[in-house]
Amino acid sequence: MKLISLDMNEERTEKEIVAFLKSEVGFGGVGADDLDALCEILSSKIEDNYCVEFTGCRESGGAMAQLSEELWQVLESAAQTIDEREGKRYAVFADTRSVESIRGW
């Protein structure tokens, strides 16, 4: 399983963050670089196993805090499993083909 660390305390735009995540899961350059496109990719096209280690924005209010929450909502809705430990949140994305083969689908 590949671990992808994402710290929302670093100043980046939505487009940069989405492009980074898409690249890490093998879909760089595919589709738009917005949260809707990211959600679609993470929900249906993952062909490997990934865990996003997500550190939310420490600032309350402001654009980065809002983007941090919106991005976590995308990760949470698309992930097969979520967890929280020591101030970090984790979203796990698994190869759905391997799950299907285990179940004989």
For 51-93, how does the pLDDT look when each residue is reduced to its tens digit (9 = 90+)? 999 998 888 888 889 999 999 999 999 999 999 998 899 999 8
Q: What is the mean pLDDT of the chain?
A: 85
**Where do the domains of the chain lie, and which CATH numbers do they carry?**
2-103 (3.30.370)
- Report the pLDDT value the prediction gives residue 30, as an integer from 0 to 100: 81
- Report the pLDDT value the prediction gives residue 45, as an integer from 0 to 100: 65
What is the arithmetic mean of pLDDT over 4-28?
91
pLDDT bin (cut points 50, 70, 90) of residue 95 is low
Which own/partner contact pairs does 4-8 have at CB distance under 8 Å and 24+ positions apart? Answer: 4/50, 4/51, 4/52, 4/53, 5/53, 5/55, 6/52, 6/53, 6/54, 6/55, 6/71, 7/55, 8/54, 8/55, 8/56, 8/57, 8/64, 8/67, 8/68, 8/71
Q: The whole model's pTM is what?
A: 0.82
